[in-house]
Chains A and B, each alone.
Chain A
Amino acid sequence: MSTAVSWLPFAATQLDGRIRVAAVVVTALLVGVVLELVRRRRLVERYALLWMLVSVALLVFAIWNQLLASAADLLHIAVPANFLFIAAFGVAFVLLLHFSIATSRLSEETRVLAQEVARLDEELRAMRAAGANGHGAAAEGMEQPARGGRPQPGDPSSFSTTDQ
């Protein structure tokens, strides 16, 4: 159990034994949950890494709470908990921004998909209609979808998500 260390400004900043055990248990659980999510591939690697970093950092602070105190001291923050709050706020802010970016990209991609589905649907129906109308019409109808059907390097859809 931790006893008050002389170089710390306030003895009160030292975590009490019971709460410390609780903190360690909770953050260890968090790390476990994240690892499990990664293992089950419920989290894409990109986010997994982020959450693992966050949870491991929390665990480290819970076990070794003098680190928190000295980090706060380094920044001249009197109460170590405030350092934790600032860090948490910063992380949450960056995360939210990151998710906004991700959502924007997703909605852009979804829009392009909707447009592509509409295109394929129209071309399919045009071809079917042309096929039903007999030979001459079929040849004529086939021509148009074939022109747009090939994905070209400059196909409009491949540009639409580049503007981020």
Chain B
Amino acid sequence: MALDHPQLRKLAIVPAYNEQGMVGRVVREIRRHAPDFDVVVVDDGSTDETATEAEDSGAIVLRHPFNTGIGGAMQSGFKYALRHSYDVAAQVDGDGQHKPAHLHDLLAKLKTTGQEADMVCGSRFRGDPGYKVPLGRRVGNLIFSVVLTVICRQRISDPTSGFRMTNRRGIELFARDYPHDYPEVEAILMLHAHRLRIHEVPVRMNARGFGRSSIDYPQSAYYMAKVLLALFVGLFRRRPIPVDESADQPGGRPLAPGATVSQASGEPKAR
């Protein structure tokens, strides 16, 4: 916590649910490969020693009293980032799938392009994925990829990847409103709706260790249908933040005009 941050304050958010035996490793890896990142582990109601292990490895820990799902956990992290005025927040899953060594690849894209990329996604499908991605996963991903690519009019090759980094604008947006059920896919749509820009960089990942593999074969069709429905609903959903606020270009059209007028006055000024 006493680290110096001369230019940017950077935070790695590690959502973890019953990741005992893995979460400590993830935190140490982040500290080794990206020492300029503070680490906050969101223990989402784990019943094992996840929180203790994370704390022992030197992370700040947010303990949810019960499980709220990956979306709730990530939002907790974004709220923390907003509260402590971080400039950059990255998601690194607590199951060890994401390689912290890539954090600076993501950061480079966020930084070198200046204000251009509000979120950088680590994509397995722009190069070598680093492990053998199961076929079902690949097919599911492809379908989301096609849908999102059409909607966003830019190539989104790995919409289910949780390995992401966002800047201040993304943090502010996600702290107020983060999709609950299938957040990775929906968050992209949300960014697009708010006119925040997305970039992808190729990353390699580890095969999921143990822990939740959120998509298994029997459930994958069901999952697909639900996410597609969530996407469809998300297209028309009312947003609690005025769209214009975060979009600085004149063309920013509000998705839901007048939907959130009452909140606009209470909005804290960015920076």
> CB within 8 Å of B: which residues of A?
110-111, 114-115, 117-119, 121-122, 126, 140-141, 144, 147-148, 152-154, 156-160, 162-163
Contacts and interface: CB of A to CB of B under 8 A. Distances in A.
Interface of B: 1-2, 42, 45, 60-66, 68, 72, 75-76, 78-80, 82-85, 175-177, 180, 237-241, 260, 263, 266-268
For chain A, what secondary structure do more than half of its interface residues adopt (helix, strand, loop), or is it mixed? helix
Contacts, number: 79
28 contacts: A110-B68, A111-B68, A111-B72, A111-B75, A111-B180, A114-B66, A115-B76, A118-B63, A118-B65, A118-B76, A119-B62, A119-B80, A122-B62, A144-B1, A144-B84, A147-B84, A148-B84, A153-B266, A154-B266, A154-B267, A156-B78, A156-B176, A160-B75, A160-B240, A162-B260, A163-B177, A163-B238, A163-B239
Given A119-B76, A144-B84, 5 more contacts: A114-B65, A122-B80, A147-B85, A154-B268, A157-B79
Contacts of B266: 153-154, 158
Given A147-B83, A147-B84, A115 B263 contact: no
A119 B65 CA distance: 11
A153 B240 contact: no
Contacts of A111: 68, 72, 75, 180
Contacts of A140: 2
A156 B65 CA distance: 19
Contacts of B176: 156, 159-160
Contacts of A115: 62, 64, 68, 72, 75-76, 79
A84 to B, nearest CB: 35
A163 B83 contact: no
A148 B82 CA distance: 9
Given A111-B180, A148-B84, A162 B263 contact: yes
